[in-house]
Structure 1
Amino acid sequence: MAKAALYFITGGVRSGKSRFAEQTAQEWAIEQHATLHYLACGRVFDAEMAERVNRHQEDREKSPIPWKTWEFPTDIERIVDGINQDSVVLLDCLTTLVDNELFTQQKPLEAEFLEETFIKIMNGIEEIQRHAACLIIVSNEVIQEPIFHNEFLHTYAKMLGLLHQAIVERADAAYMVEWGIPVMKKGGTPI
């Protein structure tokens, strides 16, 4: 079975990366006559997050193709029971997935647990790729320099950086979105 196309889209907070990812997914789905699936990893923990979730839901409701939304804050491979080779999956976002996998289990951030978490996330991505036509992963850029004094934030940023490298290495295309403008860093035409 062939692996799905893999696109990686990153940028700062409120950079327009999710909007670009949704547009890319819609274009891919229209071109390939595919179904759209939104894999939400975030959890609503405050009013600002609730507002962002509502805005993203409203944006998807305006889509010319309907979206099926899946909410898996951890264990993303669970989506494979609901997708097939005609599915475009948008995972939004890797940063919240890493946060959920690292910090909700109340385990010490020791080397073995960190390695297991890295492998678990990469295995989940590969499992989705085996069952879908296209996987688009959204993430955030995290500034690392000022946070080295905080062990948790340093561990989180390091894990995220390693995941970014591993995913981009495998990706067909990678984009950095700044000020609403996508800048291609790897690959060719998105469709």
Structure 2
Amino acid sequence: MAEGSLIFISGGVRSGKSSFAERTAAGLAIKTEGKLHYIAAGKAYDSEMEARIQRHQDDREKSGLHWTTWEQPSALEEISGNFNNQDIILFDCLTTLLNNELFRAEDVWRNREFQDKLSSDLLRAISEIRQRCRFLIVVSNEVLNVPIGENELVITYSKILGTLHRNIVEMADEAVLVEAGIPILMKGEPA
């Protein structure tokens, strides 16, 4: 089976990237009669995150389409075998999953070998999912355009995220930056 198309969608916090990604996935599902899947990396650590998760769930429900949701706040590779070439998968979002993986690791995140392994494991999981589906849409936050200060964990997080973004965009068929709700095609042709 040929690997599916990879669409990378990024943007700042509250830029509209998740809504755009959901509309993109829904449009692809309608066009191809594919099955919609949503990989949710978010965990409700506080009331704000709980409200955001609920809003995303409500938006998917209001779409009138059937979404299969996978709650996967870490270990993305564990679900890679669950998809097939009829599936349109929306993974929201890479930044949250990376955050969860770093905090799950306690102080191990300081180890360069751990950082490299984490990055390669995430890229491998994305590649494995892509090989099994029709379309994989990966959503991520653009957090690298703001000053990161001197916090070692934030610097490490930013370096790993920057590497992941660069590698995913290189693999992607399409890359879109969403600014103030407006999608800007950065690579490829719209699917």
**Range of TM-score over shorter length:** over 0.9
Q: Report the Cα offset of residue 82 of structure 1.
A: 2.9
Q: Report the Cα offset of residue 144 of structure 1.
A: 5.5
Report the TM-score when normalising by structure 1: 0.96
In the alignment of these two chains, the number of paired residues is: 190
- 1:99-132 Cα shifts (integer Å, max 9, x gaps): 1112212224211000000010001001101111
Q: Report the Cα offset of residue 4 of structure 1.
A: 1.0
| CA–CA distance in structure 2, aligned partners of residues 58 and 148 of structure 1 | 36
Amino acid at match of 2:25: A
Moved more, 38-47 or 98-107: 98-107
| CA–CA distance in structure 1, aligned partners of residues 139 and 63 of structure 2 | 18
- 8 A Cα contact 1:37 1:87, kept in partner: yes
Amino acid at match of 1:17: K
Q: Secondary structure at the match of 1:156?
A: helix
Q: Does 2:90 match 1:90?
A: yes
| CA–CA distance in structure 2, aligned partners of residues 71 and 117 of structure 1 | 19
Q: Secondary structure at the match of 2:84?
A: coil
- 1:28-66 Cα shifts (integer Å, max 9, x gaps): 111111000000011111111001000000000012321
- 8 A Cα contact 2:43 2:73, kept in partner: yes
- In structure 1, what is the equivalent of residue 11 of structure 2? 11
Q: Secondary structure at the match of 1:137?
A: strand
- In structure 2, what is the equivalent of residue 28 of structure 1? 28
Q: Report the Cα offset of residue 145 of structure 1.
A: 5.3
The runs of 5 or more residues in structure 1 that have no matched partner are none
- 8 A Cα contact 1:90 1:136, kept in partner: yes
Q: Does 2:166 match 1:165?
A: yes
- In structure 2, what is the equivalent of residue 53 of structure 1? 53
- 8 A Cα contact 1:144 1:157, kept in partner: no
- 8 A Cα contact 2:8 2:174, kept in partner: yes
| CA–CA distance in structure 2, aligned partners of residues 86 and 7 of structure 1 | 16
- In structure 2, what is the equivalent of residue 64 of structure 1? 64
| CA–CA distance in structure 1, aligned partners of residues 65 and 173 of structure 2 | 24
Q: Report the Cα offset of residue 161 of structure 1.
A: 0.6
State the identity as a percent: 48
- 8 A Cα contact 2:144 2:162, kept in partner: no
Amino acid at match of 1:155: T
| CA–CA distance in structure 2, aligned partners of residues 149 and 133 of structure 1 | 41
Report the TM-score when normalising by structure 2: 0.96
Q: Secondary structure at the match of 2:147?
A: helix
The residue correspondences of 1:29-44 to structure 2 (distance < 5 A) are 29-44=29-44
| CA–CA distance in structure 2, aligned partners of residues 145 and 59 of structure 1 | 29
- 8 A Cα contact 2:102 2:109, kept in partner: no
Q: Report the Cα offset of residue 12 of structure 1.
A: 0.5
Q: Secondary structure at the match of 1:44?
A: coil
